[in-house]
Amino acid sequence: MTLVQLRHFLALADAGSFALASRALFLTQPALSRSIQALEDDLGQALFDRLGRRIELTVFGQQFLPRAKSLVQEADALKSVGRQMQAGLTGKVRIGLGSGPGALLSAPLLLHMAQHHPRLQLEVARGGTDLLIDALRARRLDAAVVDIRALRPASDLRVSLQVEMPGSFLCREDHPLYQRGTPVPFEDLLAYPIASTPLSDEVARLLTERFGPAANPDQMVTLRCDDTQTLVEVARRSDAIVLTIDAAGQGLKSLPTVPALDGTARFGLVTLDQRAEPPGLQVVRQLVERLLRG
């Protein structure tokens, strides 16, 4: 029994004759007759009584009709779901966001899905790079957007959408150092709380090369948190200075220093190599790229 045979049966039951059903199906009458006969042989029961040129459903055919309709409708529904999933309209996508990406992407991603893809389930996890990559390898995530400078090279990981974003020391506009109106010696920053998420070894090397041993994050950072948005809020409401990407510091000002920091964060979307991606991930990927590239 095949779906094609079921469709032929339904068409014949609706038309009431082989001639009409054949024209509706664009089949020859012998081909339709063979299809129905094969279905009846498979079921072990006649579906139609042949009354000359007319046909009528047998008792078994009458019982079989609603079930055949249900099977065909379910098959059509499954096809529709498959097409929608392939287009990224339904299904589920689980994405992890590191601290910086989380501050930039969490709300816009969720809002976009709510407005434009209400049937596509999006799960967002937040955490450090190592934690998110572990979840990716354990198949608990489909992708992660992280600071790839903190990512250990591995053959099982594929990195795409690499974007560099400027970062600096940020503070509120009425901060005493910003009010000077001139670049600030790095040593003057140390008189205030310095806030940061955990930094990669590469960023730590950049800081110490630029400003000296006092800029080692282990010594310099006095407020450490995995959530960039929390640190930005602290800087908005106090004299704390937060070291993060400029795009995440809404309402804050970039504090020029002597020497200049000229730092960047490098974000990328990480997936498992050779793993089939859920179709909906393409929707998320395009949106992440648009948000990161501005």
Q: What is the CATH number of the domain that holds 174?
A: 3.40.190.290
Beta-sheet pairing, 263-272 with 194-196: unpaired
On whether both 125 and 138 belong to a single domain, the answer is: yes
**What are the tens digits of pLDDT across the range 15-37?**
888 888 898 889 998 998 999 99
Assign 247 a pLDDT band (cuts: 50, 70, 90): very high
Question: What pLDDT shows up at residue 125?
Answer: 95
Domain boundary among 53, 86, 119: 86
On whether both 98 and 242 belong to a single domain, the answer is: no
How many distinct structural domains can be found in the chain? 3
Range of the domain at 12: 3-86
Assign 274 a pLDDT band (cuts: 50, 70, 90): confident
On whether both 60 and 116 belong to a single domain, the answer is: no
Question: What pLDDT shows up at residue 202?
Answer: 87
Burial 123-138 (b: 16+ CB within 10 A, else e): ebbbbbbebbbebbee
Question: Which residue type sits at 161?
Answer: L
**What are the tens digits of pLDDT across the range 149-168?**
888 889 999 999 899 999 99
Domain boundary among 86, 113, 138: 86
How far apart CA 129 and CA 204 sit, in angstroms, is 16
On whether both 205 and 255 belong to a single domain, the answer is: yes
Q: What is the CATH number of the domain that holds 279?
A: 3.40.190.10
How far apart CA 247 and CA 221 sit, in angstroms, is 20
Neighbours of 249 (CB within 10 A): 25
> When comparing pLDDT for 109 and 87, which is higher?
109
Assign 283 a pLDDT band (cuts: 50, 70, 90): confident
Question: What pLDDT shows up at residue 210?
Answer: 94
For the chain, percent of residues with pLDDT exceeding 90: 64
On whether both 115 and 33 belong to a single domain, the answer is: no
Q: What is the CATH number of the domain that holds 63?
A: 1.10.10.10
Per mean pLDDT, which range of 182-186, 188-192, 250-254, 261-265 is the poorest? 261-265
Beta-sheet pairing, 253-254 with 194-196: unpaired
Question: What pLDDT shows up at residue 259?
Answer: 94
pLDDT over threshold 60, residue 84: no
Domain boundary among 86, 107, 126: 86
Which spans in 16-58 are helix H?
Answer: 18-25, 29-43
